[in-house]
């Protein structure tokens, strides 16, 4: 009898495992079906999901593993409305559950390259915006994988856009907002754009 119960339990666990595997979209599915979402229901995004999304952001590659990304996550509805609710198309911010400002530390204290014994000096992080762009894309993909919507909206180098945001959020001078990503429960389901264009590829030689 004990044996039968054990067998049933193993079979049930196996069946659940297979189901979970079947229902999880593949990384390629997530990449190919992501599209910008600009209308949200207004529902909050649980902190746990936001942390998963940020973890995905921080899993991005970065030059010399410098990880220059910094994130300001705004979940307070009044604050979202007062900082992001004034421009054109502000609805994508005011209906979002959270707004993630992806920032890059544009300078940091480092030893000059190839001089391990030299004192640390403040140097430009040459690749901060590439590194932070990789983090931002991971954030968009992670949000989509969780069934949420998001859109990259422009920050750097449009200084006139980012100066008021930096001021309102107390972002230090050497930390630059690269992009502002509203994240939320989608209230629209636009079809992903088909961007496949073989003309953009040159095999072996341009």
Ligand X SMILES: Cc1cc2nc3c(=O)[nH]c(=O)nc-3n(C[C@H](O)[C@H](O)[C@H](O)COP(=O)(O)O)c2cc1C
CA 140 to chain centre: 5
Cβ at position 154, least distance to ligand X in Å: 4
Residue 36 sits in the site that holds ligand X (CB under 6 A): yes
| Chain residues 147-206 in contact with ligand X, contact rule CB under 6 A | 151-154, 193
Figure out which of the listed residues 30, 35, 63, 90 binds ligand X, where binding follows CB under 6 A: 35
* Minimum CB distance to ligand X, residue 158 (Å): 8
Asked if 67 and 103 touch (Cβ cutoff 8 Å), the reply is no
Is residue 108 part of the contact set for ligand X (CB under 6 A)?
no
Q: How far apart are CA 97 and CA 81, in angstroms?
A: 11
To ligand X, the closest distance from the beta carbon of 3 in angstroms equals 54
Residue closer to ligand X (CB basis): 9 or 154: 154
**Closest separation between CB of residue 63 and ligand X, Å?**
19
Minimum distance of ligand X from residue 180's CB (angstroms)? 8
Nearer to ligand X, 127 or 152 (CB): 152
Of 81, 78, 96, residue with least CA distance to 149: 96
Six-digit token string for 37: 């979402």
Determine if the peptide bond prior to 191 is cis (ω within 30°): no
Using the rule CB under 6 A, give the single segment among 34-42, 93-101, 105-113, 196-204 that binds ligand X.
34-42
- CA 27 – CA 153 distance, rounded (Å): 23
Beta-bridge mates of residue 102: 71, 179
* List of E strands, 80-126: 98-105, 107-110, 121-124
Element (H, E) at 7: helix 2-23
How many chain residues bind ligand X (CB under 6 A)? 8
Residues at the contact surface with ligand X, assessed by CB under 6 A: 35-36, 38, 151-154, 193
């Amino acid at each position: 009898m004990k044996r039968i119960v054990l067998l049933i339990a193993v079979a049930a666990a196996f069946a659940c495992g297979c189901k979970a595997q079947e229902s999880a979209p593949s990384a390629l599915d997530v990449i190919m079906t992501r599209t910008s979402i600009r209308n949200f229901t207004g529902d909050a995004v649980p902190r746990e999901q936001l942390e998963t999304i940020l973890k995905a952001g921080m899993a991005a590659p970065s030059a010399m593993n410098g990880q220059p990304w910094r994130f300001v996550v705004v979940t307070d509805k009044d604050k979202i409305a007062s900082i992001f609710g004034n421009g054109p198309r502000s609805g994508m911010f005011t209906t979002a559950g959270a707004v993630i400002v992806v920032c890059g530390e544009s300078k940091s204290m480092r030893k000059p390259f190839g001089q391990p014994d030299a004192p640390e000096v403040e140097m430009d992080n040459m690749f901060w915006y590439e590194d932070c762009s990789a983090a931002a894309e991971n954030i968009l993909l992670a949000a989509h994988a969780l069934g949420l919507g998001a859109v990259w909206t422009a920050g750097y180098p449009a200084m006139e856009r980012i100066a008021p945001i930096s001021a309102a959020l107390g972002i230090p001078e050497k930390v630059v907002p690269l992009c502002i990503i509203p994240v939320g429960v989608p209230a629209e389901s636009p079809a992903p754009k088909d961007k496949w264009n073989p003309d953009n590829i040159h095999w072996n030689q341009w």
